[in-house]
Structure 1
Amino acid sequence: MKVVRASRLLSVLLLLQNRGRMTARELADELEVSVRTVYRDVEALSAAGVPVYADRGRAGAYRLLGGYRTRLTGLSEAEARALALAGLPAAASELGLGTVLAAAQLKLHAALPEELRHRAGELAQRFHVDVPGWHREIEHASALAAVADAVWHAKRVRVRYRRWDGSAVERDLDPLGLVLKAGAWYLAARCDGSVRTYRVSRVDALVELGETFDRPDDFDLADYWRTWSEGFERRLYPETARVRLSPLGCELVPFLLGSVGARALRETATSPDRDGWVTVELPVETGAPALAQLLQFGAELEVLAPPELRRRVSDVVVRMGSHYG
């Protein structure tokens, strides 16, 4: 408890040092404590000889006198780890590291010379990273913090996992790494001797088994994710459709079909004809999903092959035409 309070007192000091003047309410909101706790912390700092001055009145606030500065900015282990997520505050919060990251950034900011501190503030006001896409938020994954802890400390765990069809299974896992992809968290974990991928939002329960494991020396999370993603895309889009795309259709490909479609456009598109249309080999899903994928393009796409898919698209277009007379 003493360690927690000492860390908070340092945070109060660094906040006043960095921002110059803050009300008790602003300090309480920043530190996620009560205003009464802030009052006690400020009194403790004053008793320790830190020159904290309180402006009285309705607009009163705290500030440090005489340009007082401290160089006591050492990072804890958790804060040092959290800095890896400095550009992803929402992700840090999901992992349970939001307040830890804020404390680490505060300490780094306080250690900078005045000019660099000003530049860092300008950068934060000009650039921001927003991970989820427009049509989705970061998934709620109740087990995420526990999974992250198991990854960091190499703890073997038992999870109850909900598969895509809704059925539940139990798995003993060696958690190796976490990946945030388009607002969803994925866990790379060793199970029965091989590394597999699990969507963290589908982990319904997690129990630590009271033992640790040795990470494979040759495991590289970025390489694993790249290889797994490519295989997943091939499984997701097992069929190919030969299509003609108008200039507008080409512009729509990255928005409607993502990186898979964009890569196909880049690698397989023919030279434009006199009207600007190109022929492309597009990866598509099977059955009805493939039909839905291609109909998104409206009149900016024509299916050439396979013949069965062209016929199905034609049937839908005729039926739509009948709706509108």
Structure 2
Amino acid sequence: MAKWDNMLSMLWMLRSGRKLTAAQIADSLEISVRTVYRYIDALCASGVPVVAESGHDGGIRILESFKETPLFFNSVELKALVDAFKFARGACYPYTEELESALKKVENGLHEEQRHDLSHQTSGMDVISPSRPPSVVPLLRELEQSAKEGRTVRIAYRKANVEQADEREVDPYGLAFDRNEWYAVAFCHQSQTLRTFRVDRISRLEPTEARFEKPERFSTSAYFRNQSEREREADGPLAVIRIEGEPDTLNALCGHWHLRHYLTERTDREARFLIDVPTMNKYLPMYLMTFGTAIRIREPLELKRRIQEMAYGIAKHYENDPD
């Protein structure tokens, strides 16, 4: 058992109110008596009032005034917390300041050696992200709060490639971070349908007095997935697609905004998709051709032959070109 798990187990044993000898604790945890005393020193350093009494009725106990169980983190867990904060900050997470404050509380509970080790372990990784307008953070907070309260908001929204923003009232259902951008999924009163709005394209947001009820068990991730499925070429038989390639190439393939929703299985060297045949025949051959020899289609045979035909056609097209 790991050191921190043993310390917590010892703490729970002592919180029972009974006095225990070092030998009893050592026997229960299958550790040495010397290790028990090291753990007692560590608990005391963490603020736990452990008392060791000698004599016939002596033993180890915790003062009754102690109420809180301290949190013990190993070095990898601490590193994961700091790295998660970096990712949150890079994504423009709306509660980064609160997350940083919570992380500082954790760090303040560490002793000097742990803080030094944490600084050393987390110095080698950072998150580089594109700059976003400062207005995105308050917009994300407002949208999330409105979604929680069920409050309709009025927004000025500018579509892509359009200079003028138009105003509309929307009922925000939730937020999603997708392809390095924040989106709000909301019911649009103007179009009378559920839509997605890129948050960085909202130039103004005002709460209204109107209220709404969000559909029960609504999920933004399920909405995005369903939208992708609706964009399929047609209903039809499904085909299993097996593609081999290097890990980095498969990452690019599986990260495609549309194709990723059809991913069913992934290893370091192979990706499997389940997709309807009409969509496969219309879109995939040309897209997969862009990967050249970096990937290999294992199945279905129909897709492999279609790509072979396209490659042969391109080769024939240039066969008689003058040098």
TM (normalized to structure 2)? 0.49
Which structure has the greater CA radius of gyration?
2
